[in-house]
Amino acid sequence: MENKYYITRREDLRDHADKTEISLQEWMGFVKMDPDMRLENETTVKLPDGSDYTYPSPGKAVWLYREAGQASPREVLFDYESGNVVISNPDTATLKKIQHIAFKLNTRVFKETPHDTGHIIAEEPVLVPRFSFSTMMTPFRKVFTHVAHSLQQSIFSLFNNSPEKIVRNPDDKTKDQ
């Protein structure tokens, strides 16, 4: 059984009306900037008679992954299909690369999983889009609450307590005037 992973911006991978897709230019630009990847833009298959057939496949990329102790890199295919990047049968290192790509492109990862009725495409809980207003504000919520509380207390002490009522040194019994 083949495992397929999809790097996508769609909320539901089966929704083809969703126009929030990775553009071919964006994908090709990413691949050109990654020193470990190269664009192939064509696919070659071996026919039953032994001959090779090559056809255009825009956006097809190869990741050259070198494991420790290996002389030559291993090639992992990343196919661009309808605004999604598709990877078949990834290993652990490839899953990390998928997460890296999804993070850089601000996308999500879906995994096609087998089910009794065929193939069900479900979101893999490896990554969610990295930027949203609520996730960016999370670290600042406590700070804002603390600052607002401190400001409220300062204003309250200025207007509700006159300087004559504040005693600086209780032993000295001197009051501000």
Residues 91, 10, single domain; the answer is yes
Do 77 and 113 lie in a common domain?
A: yes
**Together in a domain, 84 and 116:** yes
CA geometry: angle at 101 spanning 90 and 41, to 5°?
Answer: 75
Could you report the per-residue pLDDT of 105-125, keeping only the tens digit for each?
A: 988 888 876 553 345 555 554
DSSP, collapsed to helix, strand or coil, labels residue 68 as coil
Average pLDDT, the chain: 76
> What stretches of 41-92 adopt beta strand conformation (E)?
42-46, 52-56, 61-65, 74-81, 84-88
Q: In terms of domains, do 34 and 86 share one?
A: yes
| Co-location of 94 and 66 in the same domain | yes
Question: How does pLDDT run across 26-56, given as a tens digit for each residue?
Answer: 999 999 999 999 998 888 888 999 999 888 8
C-alpha radius of gyration, the chain, whole number: 29
Nearest to 7 by CA among 67, 75, 81, 116: 81
One domain, residues 87 and 158: no
Instruction: Report helix, strand or coil for 153.
Output: helix
Summarised one tens digit per residue, pLDDT across range 2-15 is: 788 889 888 766 66
Residue 171: which domain range? 134-175
38 and 98 housed in the same domain: yes
Residue 158 in this model has a pLDDT that exceeds 80: no
How many separate domains does the chain show? 2
Enter the tokens of residue 123.
């979101």
* 3-class DSSP assignment, residue 101: helix
